[in-house]
């Protein structure tokens, strides 16, 4: 790996560890929303009791916990993440729910510490965008899959189609003089539909490549945007004093005003689902 990619990976590891406490804090309050976001991925993975599943970039446990319920006590889920601080919350949540079939392991998706053909399924929700070397990460997923096994990825669609991120990004540009798109490994990296091509280049047969749209409605009077702000911008917010933080949050709230109708915020969200099978 080049020095530039090494530096990028170190930066990713540092930043995601810094965000770990925020992700753990909001994991339970956002569990129902996460379950709805998980469903297209979980269904496309064609899960069954007894399967062995590798979940990449599991963070505080999504969608690994939902997958663990689907494969049951006879199956196994290995929830992985590059940032160990993220996995602490995932392990606590699994233990609290009695999901002994789920274990956690720190792992780099570009160099997985697992044997060839060790898993029936590989899943990754909102994680592949942050792998500096996409080709290496997808090749590793193919390697650890059994022949006939599926790899299912869910990534964000265009920034313009995701009103939550659009409003937050606009505030970041104005107040923080930065953007969610500043880094090469940003959340919307594969909104252009290129992930399917990368997966095919890694030797996978493409089974699905489609857009999944959501239309969440949220009651007015609650800072529904705060979890995403804290989870995505924890490293930047930590450098602000109280006044600057308040100014940023006021701008975020103002940016959501156009979405408020009839006492509810009417938002839009778009993801892309890509599923491949190892021949």
The CATH number given to whatever domain includes residue 194 is 3.40.50.150
- Higher pLDDT residue, 23 or 157? 157
Please say whether the beta carbons of 206 and 275 come within 8 A.
yes
Residue with tokens 């099978």: 277
Quick one: average pLDDT of 224-247?
85
How many domains does the structure of the chain reveal? 1
Say whether 69 sits in a helix, a strand or coil. Answer: helix
- Cα-Cα-Cα-Cα torsion 189, 34, 69, 24, nearest 10 degrees, comes to 90
Give the per-residue pLDDT at 194.
97
Does a structural domain hold residue 173? no
Does a structural domain hold residue 150? yes
Does a structural domain hold residue 167? no
pTM for the full predicted model = 0.87
Please say whether the beta carbons of 119 and 54 come within 8 A.
yes
Give the per-residue pLDDT at 15.
56
Range of the domain at 61: 3-159+183-215+269-277
pLDDT reading at 11 higher than 70: no
Give the separation between CA 98 and CA 256, rounded to whole angstroms: 39
Does a structural domain hold residue 128? yes
Give residue 133's pLDDT band: very low, low, confident or very high (50, 70, 90). very high
Does a structural domain hold residue 236? no
pLDDT reading at 128 higher than 70: yes
């Amino acid at each position: 790996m080049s020095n530039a990619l090494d530096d990028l990976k170190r930066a990713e590891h540092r930043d995601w560890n810094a965000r770990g406490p925020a992700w753990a804090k909001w994991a339970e309050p956002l569990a129902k929303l996460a379950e709805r976001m998980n469903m297209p991925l979980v269904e496309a993975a064609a899960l069954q009791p007894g399967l062995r599943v590798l979940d990449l970039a599991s963070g505080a446990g999504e969608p690994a916990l939902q997958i663990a319920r689907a494969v049951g006590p006879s199956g196994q889920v290995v929830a992985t993440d590059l940032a160990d601080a993220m996995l602490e919350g995932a392990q606590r949540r699994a233990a609290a729910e009695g999901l002994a079939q789920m274990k956690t392991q720190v792992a780099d998706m570009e160099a997985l510490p697992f044997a060839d053909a060790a898993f029936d399924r590989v899943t990754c929700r909102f994680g592949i965008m942050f792998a500096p070397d996409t080709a290496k990460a997808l090749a590793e997923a193919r390697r650890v899959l059994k022949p006939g096994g599926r790899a299912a990825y869910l990534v964000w669609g265009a920034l313009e189609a995701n009103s939550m991120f659009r409003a937050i990004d606009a505030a970041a540009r104005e107040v923080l003089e930065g953007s969610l798109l500043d880094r090469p490994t940003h959340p919307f990296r594969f909104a252009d539909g290129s992930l399917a091509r990368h997966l095919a280049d890694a030797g996978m047969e493409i089974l699905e490549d489609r857009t999944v749209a959501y239309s969440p409605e949220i009651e007015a009077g609650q800072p529904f945007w705060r979890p995403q702000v804290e989870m995505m911008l924890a490293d930047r917010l930590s450098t602000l004093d109280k006044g600057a933080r308040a100014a940023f949050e006021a701008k975020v709230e103002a940016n959501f005003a156009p979405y408020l109708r009839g006492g509810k915020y009417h938002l839009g969200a778009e993801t892309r689902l890509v599923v491949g099978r190892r021949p």
